[in-house]
Amino acid sequence: MQKIFVAGKLLEKTEEVLKQMGATFWTGTGKISEEELKKGAKDAEAIICPLSAPITSDVLTASPKLKIVANVGAGFDNIDVQKAQELGIAVTNTPKVSTESTAELSFGLILDVMRRVSEGDRLLRTHPEEFKGWAPTFFLGRELHGKTLGIIGLGQIGQAVAERAFAFGMKILYSGHHPKEVAQKWDARFVSQEELLEKSDIVSVHAAYSDELYHLFQKETFQKMKKTAFLVNASRGKVIDEAALVEALEAKEIAGAALDVFEFEPHVNESLTKFENVVLTPHIGNATVETREQMGDMAVANVKAVLAGDAPIHSVY
């Protein structure tokens, strides 16, 4: 029987299918290490893994029978794709199924940080005595209606966020991906990144990660934003220089931030947890039962195809 190594916990439905296929499972907790991957996958023909699994060059070369690495996620920057290609190993992902769930979470973060939802929840749980009832100047946030949302990367998720923003009566600017014919539906306007930073009340990042986007947000970037602007990131943590973000928040160069991903994930910069105007969620962009079931189904389908001698369904190269 062909050996499949599963390098992380998946939904029960997906695991039942894989058990029937004779898969073996990593039983540890947290993030699997490179050494554990080498040990578990040394005789494997297929690896199914989460985004947190480090599929390095060493892991790939230590698995001489390997035919496919199936990532359970749209991203694949945890995999040495170039080395896999050199070795003739297929690499697949689970594109598009995360669009709606991630867009929902992103827009939820926008609502949360602008209307101070999490901050209000903390207040009532920890200092309920401060709530004296409705008052004209108590706990004021910012309305979304009429505000300008700047979207960096108008791909599938960026478009889904734009659709929601348009329904809220927001003005939309975007940079990066440039689908003019699609953007017309929301009266979205393509601008330079510099203009987007200068004019947006909220900047939401949805660009697919590449090395060029490393620390896209740094000291100079924050200085270009409005002092009343908010930054939202549900893409990749390395897009933001978190030390510079902390400095910008301390200097009140921006009004706040909402983050679902982190530069040194799973480590969260402790300084960020001390700001009331910062919303933090533990990388739950596509963490819905519906999306994770679809992702599992796609990963299994990719493995079945390759092990049957067919082309992968969702190849990344």
Q: Hey, which residues are catalytic here?
A: 236, 265, 283
CB atoms within 10 A of CB 178: 10
211-237 exposure pattern, b = at least 16 Cβ within 10 A, e = fewer: eebeebbbeebbeebbeebbbbbbbbb
SS3 69: strand
Q: Cα–Cα distance between 143 and 135 in angstroms, integer?
A: 17
Q: Cα–Cα distance between 113 and 256 in angstroms, integer?
A: 7
Listing DSSP states for 172-201 in one string gives EEEESS--HHHHGGGT-EE--HHHHHHH-S
Burial class (CB in 10 A: 0-12, 13-18, 19+), 91: buried
Measured in residues, the chain has a length of 317
Tokens of 62: 């230590």
Tokens of 214: 């490393």
Listing DSSP states for 134-150 in one string gives --TTTT-----TTPEEE
Residue 306: which residues within 8 A CB-CB, separation 6 or more? 46, 67, 68, 90, 92, 312
Which residue blocks in 200-241 are alpha helix, DSSP H?
A: 219-224
